[in-house]
Structure 1
Amino acid sequence: MITPSPTFGHSSEKPEERFYGPITKSAVSLAEIGRPERRRVFCMAVTNEDISGTQPSTWSAALDQEAAGVTMDDERAPRRLIVVSAGNAPNPIMLNEVQPSDTYPIEDPAQAWNVVTVGGYTDKIHIAEPELADHSPLAEAGDLSPFTRTSTLWTTGRNRPIKPDIVMEAGNRAVDASRTTVVDTTSLSVATSGPEVDRRPLVPFRATSAATAEAARLACRLMAAKPEYWPETIRALMVHGAEWTDKMRFALDPLGKTDAAKLLRHFGYGVPTYERAIASAENHLALVAQSEIQPYGASGFKDCHYYDLPWPRQAFEALGDEEVRLKITLSYFVDPNPGALASLDPYRYQSFGLRFDLKRRMESTDEFKKRVNVEERADPRRKPPTQSDTDNWRFPDGTPSGSLHCNEWKGPAAWLLARNMLCIKPVGGWWKNRADTATRQQKTRYALVVSVKTAREDVTLHTDINSIIFGTVPVSQDIEIGT
């Protein structure tokens, strides 16, 4: 079920900004009180117009609280999946007034860490209206929609979350033959059901409102297909099932890691489809894990999870030097702590943080554990000597931020055989420094999705491990991690 967002953004008596968070929380409560047994996706296609989401706000923090199930007492409400629009760019009539999407920063509250923030792209380039036969599409197929916003201007502060998370079809605009004026047109819009079913059953729908509705529908389909999956897991699958269009890859692929990471704030992780998010084809092995972890103990970090990745040796050896793509997505919800210092240091905003690390090709299991966990070292003050092994990752180590992390490794299949252990480890957060023991030693949960792809259709990666496809990958070890 998609629960619509509150409509106060369009009311003639717009409430004060400080009430946006409480109003949104009330909308969530009303839906859940009415039908508490239903599983929901909350769709919010309204933003604080012209207010940049550079820093956490009371509204974005309210969304983070609702997603994480934070309540005023010690009880935790169920986690929730919330899908939020990135906000719409202005739509001038004159072409010389049209600005690039990067000119317009994503609007409050789409900076919320725990939500799925949706931007817009477009594949609509065919203009069907006879009166517009001399017009051409403003954006090329596979590029960002003219209606969307990005977070490339979020340059202040450290480690802002990557937003948008994904992009969906938001429609296009048409330019006249003289390249003077720009117009909206039905054929370059998305169709949706209209209020006058007998007269106009379908009406044009565009911009990030349309994109957000599409994303919410995708989340609902995944939730219906996998009712055992948590909201954190559905979010992970949506991002994991996203890919960049050819137009986006043309911009991304020639870039180095740092520049490519910057373009994440332009395109997000790409365009998701239900088929990619849910399917496991013959040449596509997908593993999903849902687990609880205790990030902190009495005096520092506590749990570190290791996963033994059951790579199909025979298939990888047969592939040899042929390229495979390993994609890893980690999703969890943090308890927010908005405040003046939180806008400068993400460790003050997030209750906890997690990161993933993969065993390197020339590392032994013992060396890997010593590298990621000081408790495994004879001398905790000294890091073991290691060789850099990051060249095959699309994004640099410093890219992860927020509560959703996704990266892709490309390399020879034979190399991946040695990279058969994955670590989930905690990083800093305000829980770690809380004085009361109950808060500091809370358990929380995360979702992990790992997939391997090869272009070879004759290679059946899942044959040897068919029993674990889309099953839960067991935690190999659960040990304390040092500070």
Structure 2
Amino acid sequence: MADEPARPHSHFYWPASGNSANYTAYPPKGSGSVAPERDRATHAQQLTQALTEVVAAGETLLASRDPQIASGTPGFYIEFILPSGQAQMVDKLERKGKFPIELVSVQPADEQHVAATVFVPESQRGYYLGKVEAYGTQDNVKVKTLDDGSVVETRKPKNERLVASIETARLAVARSFYTDAADLFPAPNLKAWWEAWLRKGTRAQFEAAAQTLGLPLRETVLEFAEREVRIVHASAEDLGRIIANTETVAELRMARDTPAFFMEIDGAEQHLWSDDLAGRLDPCDADAPAVCLLDSGTTISHALIAPLLSPADQQACEAGWHGEDVSLQGHGGHGTQLSGIALYGDLTDILASAGQVTVRHRLESVKILPDHGANDPDLYGAITARAIARAEITAPTRPRAICLAVTSPGDHWRGRPSSWSAKLDALAFGRDEVPRIITVSAGNIREAINAADYPDRNDLMPIESPAQAWNALTVGAFTEKSVITDTSFAGWNALASVGDIAARSRTSVSWHRDWPLKPDVMFEGGNIGIDPASGMGDHVDDLALLTTYRKPTERPFTTTGDTSAATALGARMAAQILAEKPALWPETVRGLIVHSAEWTPAMTGYLGTLNRTSLVRRYGFGAPSLVRALGSLDNDVTMVVEDSLIPFKMEKGKAVTDQLMVHELVWPKKKLAELGEVLVQLRLTLSYFIEPNPGERGQSRRHSYASHGLRFALKPADEKADVFLRRITSEAGPRPPARQASDTGWTIGPQLRHRGSLHADIWEGTAADLAERNSIIIYPTGGWWRENLAQDRVGEPARYSLIASIRAADGIDLRTEISAQIAPEITGEAVIEV
């Protein structure tokens, strides 16, 4: 966005300032699913017939197991079909014990049904037949004595909730495990690279079977809480043999390669400008924060890169590669282009400036795209992890913002995790390591741009992998570039209006509603010129960002754009924040970037035609501002909290919710009360990282993707703090009567903002109302940490960053009253300014 004047005041920072309380949620009204109405006898008969056929087929399969491949617990897979409204019942298909039945995948079967696949050990082959028989012949009897002494007896079929929820069952085949795009499923006997998602602890069996069948395996393994992922070159028939003879496979997806980046490289030679800027450069120290760029390498000899990239920090993820950006493929030059953006932003303005240019962050470059050919269809999450590890081993104490502007096309319209995006989430979460701030590109539309399709086409083109990662800062592109001065493009116009989405930027408008809101923010990505004769779009240098060229002996500059450039700008902003406050948590850095973002007038202009959901899924939370992220004003004051809570504990052999945190923020109550009916604004952002548990079992609570969730609640103005606490948790006393009016005034609202692991919203109302709303409660929601006790995560703390800003009209001083209240505490370092 256009440059803003500097903000003279630092934010207020409260480390670990919350007060914990025991948390137990009230049961929701109407909780518990209702079994579908069935004709009991008919339904039992139909399911008995279907399961009898399944068991018979399973026994035949077991009898014909290939002794050269067979290993592990003998058994077979059953695919159950349930109505979509009963999807929460899939957990009840599992059986614990010595010979457990495991739910391995859940996916849509069609618009009205879901398909759940389970592994059934041979010793349990009659388990579901027994359930259905009991449903058809036995009753659960409940006896209730009424106030008048009479006795009422109710009878319901045994196992009704489970059995009535099942439409039918069939023996699972390889296609049953396939959870990727239907049109990518290989033709019969055609070999392809697959991602084989394996049940935990069965990898050795899978590898042995693949070796026996002569199926090539890539070396890299990705490990998650309940799954391991291997890449195998096989046909569907090959995988069917492994499925029939082992207990290993949980899910199958297609392995994907990264795309090439085709960019124009036709900028004019400007050596004098480059030399002038290099002479004015004031570089930072070697231990300053860095942007860690994962791309095609970079040209370290470039005059504008060399002062800020040491040879030790120019690396490649593969030992046999070198770090220079020399590939002749489409992605060649991309890394050097993003290097300039990550260090300087758009060079256009800097080159025209005068005086010293201070850069307070450095560059790290790790090549992940090969110079020749393409990466083997390996696991790109593992490539990313190796690249990050190389940078961290070289400079273990350096704060860094990781920039990944390489994406892979695929069927992610629902927003479901891929192995790559899940690995990004794991890397950001940092179990046994450190949390990380990772910026990732939302991906570009690669096809030709037609002016008539804009911007509707952006809404139809879903964000690419790995940008669906919950913990990453996903960056889309908008533009403020609109002027074409090149006479060779006389009569051409810029496609996007100033402040609107860039022509090639992808969105999550078409995603399933349960997945995160992506992109998170938008940075400048340039514009597209439109030929008035054809209505088709093309690259115009005037509408792009000026940056460094990989062959500086020929010319130092070229142009770039789209979401790649936007992502580099996002990583640059993260590094700039770390340069000011290197000790900030990655969760906080991400939160500050999002908290500083605002929708442009061009974005809000669509509110007449777009609903709030589509607006957020197209533009995220808007365009960030570095000055807003780092500074406050007298009338616009930001408070930052870094804290943690323990979401779950063990109680009577069960995992239950444990803590919530109450934050009584220092509030300018007196000034707000004086303002009375004047309208003010409160902006809240809650940022935390989840530990991922990927696999296509999202309908199952026990196997949900996120380890936990957090939510925030703001105290109503007319409610005392103790009543507010009792409204959230049953541990605090009797539940207050229901409020007549809902909490209005929110821009996004709780139904939409509680997606993913980043929640931001804006409340607008009167100053008198806000004066009494300084209490904010952070409380946990469910996740696999709670539901999956075998992973031993109960009792672990969950970190979070809470950012709150109060904004009033110009000339209103809110900050002085806040400062006066905290001044006595500053000396004790309980409250500091950053």
Report if TM-score (shorter chain) is over 0.5: yes
Per-residue CA shift, 1:443-479, capped at 9, x if unaligned?
1211110001112x2111100112659x9988xxxxx
Matched, 1:40 2:400: yes
Maintained 8 Å contact 1:243/1:271: yes
Q: CA deviation at 1:289?
A: 0.3
What secondary structure sits across from 2:694 in the alignment?
Answer: coil
Displacement of 1:93 in angstroms is 5.9
Q: d(CA) in 1 for partners of 2:390 and 2:764?
A: 47
* Matches of 2:452 and 2:696, distance apart in 1: 39
* Matched residue SS, 1:191: strand
Say whether the 8 Å CA contact 1:289–1:473 is kept in structure 2: no
Matched, 1:63 2:424: yes
User: CA shift at 1:261, angstroms?
Assistant: 2.6
Say if 1:18 and 1:373 are closer, same or farther in 2 by CA, change over 3 A: farther
Q: Distance in 2 between matches of 1:25 and 1:383?
A: 49
1:317 counterpart SS class: helix
**Do the aligned partners of residues 438 and 355 (structure 1) sit closer, same or farther apart at CA in structure 2, a change above 3 Å counting?**
same
Q: Give 1:384 shift.
A: 3.6
Determine if contact 2:703/2:788 at 8 Å carries over to the other structure.
no
Q: What is the identity, as a one-letter code, of the residue corresponding to 1:430? A: W
Cα distance change on mapping 1:326 and 1:200 into 2, 3 Å: same
Paired residue for 1:224, among 548, 564, 579? 579
C-alpha contact 2:702 2:787 (8 A) present in aligned 1: no
Per-residue displacement from partner, 1:386-420 (whole Å, max 9, x unpaired)? Answer: 23332201112211111100011001111101212
> Of 481, 486, 499, which residue of structure 2 is paired with 1:129?
486
After superposition, residues 90-101 of structure 1 pair within 5 angstroms as 90-92=446-448, 95=451, 100-101=457-458
1:108 matched to 2:397: no
Where does residue 443 of structure 2 map in the other structure? 87
Higher alpha-carbon deviation: 49-58 or 181-190 = 49-58
CA contact 1:298–1:437 (8 Å) conserved in 2:
no
Q: Are residue 390 (structure 1) and residue 390 (structure 2) matched?
A: no
Deviation digits for residues 223-259 of structure 1, max 9, x if unmatched? 111122100000000000000001112223x589xx2
What is the CA–CA distance in structure 2 between the aligned matches of 1:330 and 1:377, rounded to whole Å? 27
Contact 1:95/1:179 (8 A) holds in 2: no
User: Which amino acid in 1 is paired with 2:439?
Assistant: V
8 Å CA contact retained: 2:712, 2:778: yes
Structure whose alpha-carbon radius of gyration is higher:
2
CA distance in 2, matches of 1:291, 1:275: 24
What SS does the aligned partner of 1:13 have? Answer: coil
CA contact (8 A) 1:147 1:207 kept: yes
Bigger RCO (CA 8 Å, 6+ sep):
1
Counting matched residue pairs gives 459
SS in structure 2 at match of 1:310 = coil
Q: Distance in 2 between matches of 1:147 and 1:344?
A: 35
Q: Distance in 2 between matches of 1:325 and 1:28?
A: 40
Q: Normalising by structure 1, what TM-score?
A: 0.90
Q: Deviations over 1:135-194 (max 9, x none)?
A: 111111111000100000003xx5211100000000111112324332101110011112
Q: Which position in structure 2 is the counterpart of 1:416?
A: 770
Give secondary structure in 2 for the equivalent of 1:369: helix
**Which of the numbers 309, 314, 320 marks the counterpart of 2:676?**
320
- Give the letter aligned to residue 69 of structure 1: G
Residue among 794, 800, 823 paired with 1:440: 794
Structure 1: stretches of 5+ with no match in the other structure: 71-75, 475-483
CA distances 1:285-310 after superposition (whole Å, capped 9, x unpaired): 11000012111111311111001122
Structure 1 equivalent of residue 41 of structure 2: none
On the 8 A contact 2:709/2:782 being kept in 1, the answer is: yes
Q: Structure 2 vs 1, CA of residues 90 and 436 (structure 1 numbering), >3 Å: closer, same or farther?
A: closer
The counterpart of 2:760, out of the listed 406, 412, 420, is 406
Q: Is the 8 A contact 1:106 1:150 kept in 2?
A: yes
Counterpart amino acid of residue 417 in structure 2 = P
For 1:116 and 1:392, locate their aligned partners in 2 and report how far apart those are by CA, in whole Å: 27
Provide the C-alpha distance between the structure 2 equivalents of 1:357 and 1:137, rounded to a whole number of angstroms: 43
Amino acid at match of 2:292: T
Superposed displacement of residue 339, structure 1: 1.2
User: What displacement does 1:336 show?
Assistant: 0.2
Which aligned pairs between 1:149-168 and structure 2 lie closer than 5 A? 149-155=506-512, 158-168=513-523
Whole-Å separation in 2 of the counterparts to 1:11 and 1:391: 56
> What is the aligned counterpart of 1:2 among 291, 300, 305?
291
Distance in 2 between residues matched to 1:343 and 1:142, nearest whole Å = 38
C-alpha separation in 2, matches of 1:436 and 1:122: 49
Q: CA contact under 8 A between 1:307 and 1:473: conserved in structure 2?
A: no
**Rounded Cα–Cα distance in structure 1 between residues aligned with 2:791 and 2:438:** 30
The Cα shift of 1:18 comes to 4.8
| Superposition deviation, residue 376 in structure 1 | 1.3
Contact 2:426/2:692, CA 8 A, preserved across alignment: yes
> What is the alpha-carbon root mean square deviation over aligned residues?
2.3
My pick for the range that moved more, 304-313 or 382-391, is 382-391
Q: Secondary structure at the match of 1:316?
A: helix
* Pair 116,149 (structure 1): closer, same or farther in 2 beyond 3 Å: same
Aligned residue type for 2:425: D
Match of 1:293 in 2: 645
Residues of 2 paired with 1:227 and 1:335: CA distance?
Answer: 24
- The residue aligned with 2:666 is 310
Q: Once structures 1 and 2 are overlaid, which stretch shifts more, 99-108 or 20-29? A: 99-108
Q: Deviations over 1:259-292 (max 9, x none)?
A: 2133100110000010111110111111000012
Q: Which residue of 1 aligns with 2:808?
A: 454
Residues 287 and 473, structure 1, Cα contact 8 Å, conserved in 2:
no
Alpha-carbon distance in structure 2 between the residues aligned to 1:139 and 1:91: 17
**CA 1:180–1:439 in structure 2 vs 1: closer, same or farther (change >3 Å)?**
closer
- The superposition leaves residues 114-136 of structure 1 with CA deviations (integer Å, 9 ceiling, x where unpaired) of 00000000110001211112111
Overall identity of the aligned pairs, in %:
36
Task: Give, in whole Å, the separation in 1 of the partners of 2:609 and 2:576.
Answer: 35
- On the 8 A contact 1:312/1:465 being kept in 2, the answer is yes
Distance in 1 separating the partners of 2:613 and 2:702:
18
Distance in 1 between the 2:535 and 2:551 partners? 35
Unaligned runs of 5+ in 2: 1-289, 297-367
Give, in whole Å, the separation in 1 of the partners of 2:743 and 2:547: 45
The superposition leaves residues 28-80 of structure 1 with CA deviations (integer Å, 9 ceiling, x where unpaired) of 1111111112111110000112443621111111000000112xxxxx20111
| Counterpart position of 1:240 | 595
Cα offsets for 1:79-121 (capped at 9, x unmatched): 1100000000124165567662112100011000000000000
Supply the AA of the counterpart residue of 2:421. Answer: S
| Superposition deviation, residue 14 in structure 1 | 2.8
TM superposition shift of 1:202: 2.1
Q: Tell me how far 1:364 sits from its aligned partner.
A: 1.7
Note closer, same or farther for the CA distance 1:17–1:109 as it changes in structure 2 (3 Å cut).
farther
Give the match's secondary structure for 2:294: coil
